[in-house]
Every structure is written in structure tokens, then in C-alpha cells.
Amino acid sequence: MSIVVDNIAKKYGRVLVMREISFKLAQSEFLVVIGPSGSGKTTLLRLIAGLEYPDEGEIFINDRKVSSPGYAFPPHKRNLGFVFQTSALWPHMTVEQNIKFGLKGLSKKESNFRVQELMEIISINHLQGRYPDEISGGEARRVALARSLAPKPHCLLMDEPLSNLDAELKDNLLEFIINTLKDSGTSLIYVTHDLKEGEQVSSRKLLLQNNSRQSGVPFP
Amino acid sequence: MRTYLSMDKINNGAWLLIYLIFIISPVFFLMVETLNQLFSGNAEWLSLTLPTGRRLQLLARSTGLASLVALGGGLLGLLAGNFLSNWRPRVGSYLKYMILVLAVVPPYIHALSWASAFRFWNDFAGSTFLPELPMYGLFISWWVQFMALAPFGVGMALLGYELVDKSLVDAGRVMKSDFKVFKKVVLPAAAPAIAAGSAFMFLISLMDYSVPSLFQVSTYSLEIFAEYSASYEPVRAFLLAFPLMILMILAASVFQAAFRNMAMSPKQPRDVKPVPLSFPPWFLALQTLAIVLIAFQVMVPVISLVFVTGSFHNLVTPIMSSLREISSTLIVASGAALFSLFLVAAPASHVSGGGKLNYIWWPVLILPLTIPAPLIGIGLIHLWNHDLLVHFYRTLLMPVLAGAVRFVPFGALIMLARFKRVDTLLLNAASVLQKNNLHTFLSVKLPMFGKDFLAVAGLIFVLTAGELAATLLVVPSGQSTLTIKIYNYMHYGESASVAGLSLLILAISLTMGIAIVRLLARERQRS
């Protein structure tokens, strides 16, 4: 999957969050987005996912225009995965139901197999029947990761997915994420404010600064 | 974590005691008096708790009517609440909360205006092939109660939708269609609020006898009033009300559980404008129908009352001849509102603190909401009609207390929801940095909660002004309120006078309602 972000700008009310953001992400490529708080990192992911309209510019996925001012191709048809800053697990569903939610076009047997497979890989099979309020913060992060990987997205958007985790767990999970995505040829846009963590993910970086344009990555 | 919403424990304890004395005591008195009578030779009265024959029919009818009202309100809330929560008007973002305004208009005004509208339709339908609408009976009773109480159902649903954690919705949207996300994520999250709205409508409908009686439908609630009028025995009325109270406690439990869950939902992040959810055409058609119903609900009372009043003379004359009732109403409603200013904070603060005795405080807080209104009047009469208190008993203090007992618990619930959504760290920080309690009260608490208290007082003002069932029993002889006068006029059929006075009540209610909604909506945007 290729993603092209072309000259995007976004305002919240009168506050300009970002402007003139452009980059291209090729299939299987990893990109790290780094910047201080309020520089629009999360907003950039939300725009790519189709959860918000850009005020200026366009976004293309596989050469198809998916976002422009006032237009957004439905998020669920973009074939993206999204791991949010908070785990955002649905509290009324068990861990298994959370992971199964995004699966499409599979038989019940295939769905169960996919869920079991993921839970084993991520070492959360003991959480299967539990509800989100019965698991720890670290476990919730892993469930959120499994949920986003379950439908085999072509590109994964991750918004500071490992913040507030202890160092050892963080390193293990990061290694797992990188290996899994590399094996499956999935692209990744990884938002963080931690330079060291960013280095581990990819050498290709997009640096966002408050209320201004990007630096660090040539277009395309 | 215990919050610091009250000035200090002693202060809070004192106000809780006053709350118990004034708000809970009439109900408590009835309970004690009932036990006393049962153990002193009147045990056969217990048979009143098991209705048979006609009374069983009345109970079934009342329950059926209230269930249908609640069902209608739940469905309307589900559809219209979702539409309104996604609606982002460019100007005046509080406009969507205006649906709540008509919640403060007394049900009998809806009854009068819808009866006029039905009559108008029948005049028109008579000359065509269109069917006529029934002017009496269960259908019009259901319709009027449904319309009168709809703002509660829609308002609670709207609140529920607004409290849904938007990150949960976003997480679903990248995987499934918007409508599937609505069904699987949004609806389960908003369901407690929708259920709370429906349960509240059920409660009010079950208690109300004014609307059904105007359309010649007898209800169980009216039977309680009749039993007391015939026997003058509060205990017999209390025992007769027992099956109704069981139903009300069940409804209140649903309301309470749902309301507590809702009040504990997380605070929303900044006000971003996400891409709106898209729904299938059939769902949009149903939502449009719900919005049209709401438009009718708002416009019919205003238009039909203006139409029936007919002339400026018909508006002014009844008002000029009712100046005494108007002043009594203002005194009573202001008194209850003033009472609420002092009494709503203590129980709400106590429950929001999550203390060990919460499982006792919750039922106590909502107890008066589960008691039929005539019983509250009966309890007040027998509690205050003593030689020692006779000087108070023969004054307007009694209708003030009737309004307070009925509506202060409701106000306390609103304050509880507000306290639950406050970041307790703000108050903890104030308590560390304060010079003294007064300093924190004036600089932090008053600016934070002052408008909420005013809004609650305003709400209790209009609800008390429109209260009938308990006020009718306790108003001193020779005195009357505007609502009682209108209710009496309605039975005599003086429609222009009734419409003129109702317009006055409507104007007062709407003015107050708009002020309350603006206050609460602004608070909500700020928090």
C-alpha cells in the first residue's frame, strides 16, 4: 500500500495545528513521526485514517484520493489499522470479542483460528474471556495491538502505542511489532515523542514542529 | 478518592440532617405510621397491598400506559438523541439542548394544547375522508404524556450519546461501517442513559393522574387520592400505593444504576469536529421522523394556546383576575427554589465522594422520587398538622415543602452528575493552597458550580410552579396557585381563560427553561 500526503493543513477553530505537510510512504515502508506536544502528530494520523477532514491538501492511498477538504472516503474501507494513544478497548466486549471485531469475510472457524493465533503470538491467550477492566494497562496495549493486526491491514498507524509501559515490556513489544510488520509486508506510520524509540523503528523520520511545516523528509 | 466538594464534614453533616428532616421525613412518617397501625389492630388493612378486581385493572392499565410512554420516549431518544449529538450548528451550539426546554412545561398545558390540536384536526377531518382522532381515552392520554415527557427521554439520550468516549468510536470506524459501529459500540455505551430516560418517563407517567383524568381515564394514582379523600387515613393510602411503589422502585433502580454509570463516564477530549457518522437511508428517515415529532412537541403547545386564547383581551382578563394566584405561585416556586439552593449540594457531594455508606445514601436520595405525589402531600399534612406547628401549617410553607420534597432529589441528582465530572485535583489543589474554607468557596467552588446551582434552582422553580398532585392537598384554605386554578377551570371548560393563563405559565416556563439550558450548555462546553 502506498500513501501520499500532499500539502495538508489543519486548524482547530482558530488554532493552526499543521500546514504544508507532504510525504510519501511506499509499500512495506516504515515512517516515524516525531514532534513536541501540540505539533499535530495525532491529527496527522486521524487525517490519514479518515476520521477528520483536512482544511487544505489531499491524501491518496494506492493512487486513489481518499481525503480532501469536506471529503473523506470511509475509514473502514481504507484497509488501515490504528493503535490509539489510549488502548480504546470496548468495555462491554471481552478481549476475544475486541480482537474479533474487525475481521471480515471469514468463517467462524477461521475467525477463531485468527484470534487464537494472534493471542498466542502476543502472549495474551490467558486473557481471552476477560473484560478490559479486568486486565492491566500493559495487557490492554497488547490487546489493542492484536485488535489492529487481526484484519491484516496494509498499513498500520500507531499513536504512541508504548507510552507509559516499563522499559523491558516496551523493548519486547517494539521488537515484536517491527518483526511482525516486516514479515507481513505491512507499512507503518509510528508516532512518538521519544527519539530513541523512533530510532529503533525506522531511520526515516518526519519531524513536526508546533504550528508550522514539517522538516526532515523530502517529498516524495 | 474522597472529594472536597463540601465545606467540611460538619457542615456537610448538618445539611444532610436538614435534608433528612425536610425532604425525607414525610415519607419516613408514612412508613412509621403504617407499622404503628398494622401492629395496633389494623392488620387487615394489609389486604390493600394486594389489589383485586377493579383496582387490579387500574394497576394494569396504569402500568401499561406508563410502559408505552417509556417505550415511546426510549425510541424517540435513541433516534433524535443521536441526531442531535451529531448536529453541529454554526451559531449557538447550545441550540440542540433546547429540546430540554419543554421539560419544564406542566403536563396539563400539553394536555390542553394537544386537545385543541386534536379538535382542530377533527374539524378538518370531518369534511374529508381522513380519520378523526379520539378526544378521550387511553390513546390521547398516552400521546399527551409521551409528548409532555419526551424532553426527558431525548435529553437523557442526548447526554448519553455525548458522554460516549469518542476514541472507542474512532477505534471501530477504521474497521467497520459507521452503522455497525453505531450498533456495536455507540448504542451499548449510550444505552444506560437511554434506559435512564425511559425509566424516568415511566416513573412520572405512573405517578401522574392529572393528564389521564382530564381525558376520562382512571389510573391507580388517582385511586390513592380517592382512597385518602374517602377515609382520611394516610396509612390506607400508603398501603394502597404499595404495588405502585414496588413498580416505581424497580424503575428507579434502573434509573439509578444507569445514571450512576453514566455520571462516571470519562470526560471528553477537546472539541474536534470528526467526519460525521454516515447512516443508511432508512435510519436517516426514522431520525427525520423523530425530529419532526420533536418539532411538533415544541410548536403545538405554543401555537394552539395562542390560537385558543384568540385575543389580547382573553389573555389579559384572566391574568388580571388571577393576580393573587400568580403572587402565591411566585412565592411558592421561589421558596422551593431557595430551599433547593441549600439542600441539593450536601447529598450530591456525599454520594459523589464514594463513601462506605453510599449503598444507603443512594436509595435515600431518590426515595421521594419513588413515592406517588399525592402520598407526599398526605405525609406532609399528617406530619405538620399539629398544634405546635399549626402556624406553619396554615401558610404557603406547605406547598413550598411539597415542591421541595418532590423536586429537590431530582436537583440533587443533577448536581451529582456535575460533581462526578469535575476533576477532583482542582479541588484538592485549592484545599492545599487556600487561606481558609471561605477563600476556596468564593474563588474556586462558586465560580465552578454557581451556575449549576442557579440552573437547578430555576428548574425547581418551574417544576414547583406546575406541581399539582401534592400542592392540591396541602395548599392552605382560601389560597390557590395558578396551576390549581387552571386545573379547576379546565374541568369547568372555560377554554379561553385556561388558554390565557396557560400561556402565562408557558411563557414563564419557557423563559426559565431557556435560561437553564443556556447555563447548563455553557457549563458543559466549558468542562
User: Across the interface, which of A86, A101, A144 has its CB nearest the CB of B175?
Assistant: A101
B174 vs A78: CB contact, 8 Å cut-off? yes
Rg (CA), chain B: 23
Chain B residues touching residue A47 (CB < 8 angstroms) = none
pLDDT in tens, A170-189: 888 888 889 888 988 899 99
pLDDT band at B399 (very low <50, low <70, confident <90, very high): very high
Q: In 3D, which of A106, A102, A87 has the Cα closest to residue B180?
A: A102
Q: Which domains does chain A have, with CATH numbers?
A: 1-79+153-220 (3.40.50.300), 91-152 (no CATH)
8 Å CB contact between B101 and B302: no
Q: Chain A closest CA to B449's CA: distance in Å?
A: 27
B161-210 pLDDT, tens digit per residue, is 888 888 899 999 999 999 999 999 999 988 888 988 898 899 889 888 88
Q: Is B90 on the interface with A (CB under 8 A)?
A: no
- Residue with C-alpha cell 402520598? B375
Lowest mean pLDDT among A66-80, B238-252, B430-444: B430-444
> Which spans in B269-357 are helix H?
281-309, 312-320, 323-343, 345-352
Distances (CA, A) of B213 to A37, B220, B391: 63, 11, 34
Q: Which residue has the cell 500507531?
A: A158
What residues pair up with B346 in beta bridges, in sequence order? none
Neighbours of A192 (CB within 10 A): 23
Please tell me the predicted confidence (pLDDT) of residue A98: 93
pLDDT score for B473: 87
* CA–CA dist B210, B214 (Å, integer): 6
* Phi, psi at A71, each rounded to 5°: -130, 135
Query: Shortest Cα distance from B167 to chain A (angstroms)?
Result: 6
Q: What is the pLDDT of residue B1?
A: 43
Compare all CA atoms of chain B with the CA of A86 and give the residue at the minimum distance. B167
Average pLDDT over residues A6-32: 89
* Helix (H) or strand (E) run with residue B490 in it: helix B482-492
What pLDDT, on a 0 to 100 scale, did the predictor assign at position A211? 58
Dist. CA B171–CA B268, nearest whole Å: 15
DSSP strand pairing (A187-192 vs A30-34): parallel
Cis peptide before A151 (omega within 30 of 0): no
The better pLDDT of the pair B273, A204 is held by A204
Length of chain B: 527
How far apart are alpha carbons B380 and B30 in whole angstroms? 9
Q: Give the C-alpha separation, A156 to A29, whole Å.
A: 11
Collect all residues of chain B within an 8 Å Cβ-Cβ radius of residue A101. Answer: 172, 175-176, 184
Q: B403 near B471, Cβ under 8 Å? A: yes
Tens digit of pLDDT for each residue in A43-75? 999 999 999 999 999 999 999 999 999 999 999
The total of other beta-carbon atoms located within 10 Å of residue B166's CB is: 16
Q: What is the largest CA-CA distance in chain B?
A: 77
**List of domains in chain B:** 53-119+133-270+280-305 (1.10.3720.10)
pTM, two decimal places? 0.81
Residue B83 Rama label (left phi>0; alpha psi -120 to 50; beta): alpha
B224 has a pLDDT exceeding 90 = no
Quick check: B88 pLDDT over 80?
no
